[in-house]
Structure formats: C-alpha cells, structure tokens
Amino acid sequence: MPDKIAQIGRQAALAAGAVMRQKYHQPHEITMKGVIDPVTETDFQCQEIIIGMIRQAFPDHGFLAEEKAGEDVGQPPSAVPAAQEHAHPGLAWEADPPPACRWIIDPLDGTVNFAHGYPAFCVSIACEADGVLEYGVVYDPLRDELFEARRGGGASLNGTPIRVSKTARLDRALIATGFPYDIRERVPETLARLGRLLSRVQGLRRGGSAALDLCYVACGRLDGFYEENLKPWDTAAGLLIVTEAGGKVTTFDGGDYDLYSPNILASNGIIHNKIIDKIMD
C-alpha cells in the first residue's frame, strides 16, 4: 500500500502541475474568498484532477481539500457539527467517523502569486493513516522540482535525498515567513516580530507559498520558516518533508505542532530555540 500511495500521490501532483504550467500565462478567472484571499479556475481544476486520480485508485479514502469545488469533498457548512466549525472554521470536513486514510490537498499553494504571474507556487498533497502522516509530496511545476517524504523513509528532491542545513548562528541564517490572510487584523504584532528577527538574521524572505518554504527548509535553502494562521493543507506535506529531512517543527513557543495549531515554526533544529527567543521576545 505505501508504494501505491506514493505512486498515485506523485502522479496526481505532476498532473496538477502540468495544468498550472499550461494556465500560468493565460488570463485567470478570479473570485475572492476573502478580502485578500483569491481563488482561480486553476485551483478548482487542479483539485478535481487530484481527487479524481486518487479516488480512482483508493475509492474508500477520504479528503480534506482547500477548495470546496464539489459537495463530495466534505460536508456542506450546514452539516458541520457546531463544535467543529467553531474550532476549525472554514475547513472542508469529512463525514464522521473519518476514514482510516485521508488525503490532505492544497491544489495550488500560492494562488496570489499565480494570479499575478509571480513564479512561486506549487501543489501540495499528503496522505495520513489513522491520523498519522505517511506520505507527502510538493511539486513546483515551473522549476520541475518534486519534493517527497515517507514516514521513516527520509525526504528527497527529484529522487535525491535531502537534509536540512547545518547553520548554527542566527546571524548567518536565512529565514522565511508568510503573512496570513487576516494580516490586516494583526499588523502591529506581525511587524514587531519581523523587526526582532530582521535585527539578528542574515536575511529574511517572504515567498508566498508555505509549502515551498517548508521544502526549502528541508533541503537547506532556508534555515527556518515561521507563519501564523495556516491550514492543514498548507503544512501537511511540508511538515513530513521537513521532519524526514532532519528538521524540527513546533509552534512559536516550542510546543508540539499539529495540523490545526495556530502557528508554525520549522527550522534545521540547531537554531530553533534562537528563533523562538526572537519570535516570543
């Protein structure tokens, strides 16, 4: 089963990536899910392709996907138990009880970039069994870079094993961050945190795709990444890829991270506590 999961996940990521490449330079149909949260026709098309391929191979598996393109992806809002909707608003919930195997999908991570023609976006797909992440794949179609990880099997980039960096000094570290879609409600604290890090690190980047940022930590291009208010589909695959590459993932205060945590900090592990000191200062 694990080999087949990886095979189908990889094929689905590549297929969605091919659509992104084809649509990248074309005009987009853009609608807004929030004030600064767009979705394009390509998001929906990619999600349909991914779910269709997975469902054909695994008809009994479930899905948690970003775009509610079809009723069968999750329950409609009216069917979501009140407690769940309050705890995790906006998620495409599966029926209760959840299936043993579930795919967590962001069909196009970096939609703002994609809509503007900015070349930093990807597809992110993860598979969990009984609540444990077993496989993750992130595909950057413009660079043709496929990041993968299996639980206990390490992480790779286009088939070559990858490891996190060995950077031990914060003033030699390249850190990435992202701004949540509700950034307008939290500008002061976001800028304060940014300022504390900028005064200590070698450089700080904001790429616009959390999944890619996590993969860049995994392969050593970045030494750390932090962001608030991400959703499970933003981090599921990247979380597994970072940890399998030898990195560390926690919440801002160093606590255990899960897919519903309010914030995430990923690093090479060596400078993890040093980043926490600046984030939580």
Question: Would you say residue 36 has pLDDT above 80?
Answer: no
Token pair recorded at residue 42 = 């390509």
Closest CA to 134 of 118, 119, 151, 147: 151
Provide the 3-class DSSP secondary structure of residue 123: strand
* CA dihedral of residues 84, 136, 214, 20 (deg, nearest 10): -90
**What phi, psi does 203 have (nearest 5°)?**
-160, 155
pLDDT band, residue 38 (cuts 50/70/90): confident
Q: Residue 208 belongs to what H/E stretch?
A: none
Tell me the per-residue pLDDT of 119-141, one tens digit each, with 9 for 90 and over.
999 999 999 999 999 999 999 99
Q: Rounded to 5 degrees, what angle do the CA atoms 165, 168, 172 make? A: 85
Report the share of the chain in percent with pLDDT over 70: 86
Closest CA to 276 of 167, 170, 163, 187: 170
**What phi, psi does 192 have (nearest 5°)?**
-65, -45
Angstrom CA distances, 33 to 36, 45, 67, 97, stand at 8, 17, 10, 28
pLDDT, position 34: 63
* Cα–Cα distance measured from residue 111 to residue 192, given in angstroms and rounded to the nearest whole number: 26
Instruction: Summarize the confidence of residues 75-96 as an average pLDDT.
Output: 35
Provide the 3-class DSSP secondary structure of residue 170: helix
| Residues near 113 by beta carbon (within 8 Å), at least 6 away in sequence | 119, 120, 121, 208, 209
Tell me the per-residue pLDDT of 149-164, one tens digit each, with 9 for 90 and over.
999 999 999 999 999 9
Instruction: Summarize the confidence of residues 96-113 as an average pLDDT.
Output: 86
Q: Residue 277 belongs to what H/E stretch?
A: helix 272-279
pLDDT-wise least confident of 69-73, 180-184, 224-228? 69-73
**What phi, psi does 140 have (nearest 5°)?**
-100, 105
* Cα–Cα distance measured from residue 90 to residue 214, given in angstroms and rounded to the nearest whole number: 23
40 neighbors 114 (Cβ within 8 angstroms): yes
* CA dihedral of residues 87, 93, 185, 31 (deg, nearest 10): -160
* Cα–Cα distance measured from residue 277 to residue 252, given in angstroms and rounded to the nearest whole number: 9
Whole-structure pTM value: 0.88
* Cα–Cα distance measured from residue 142 to residue 167, given in angstroms and rounded to the nearest whole number: 28
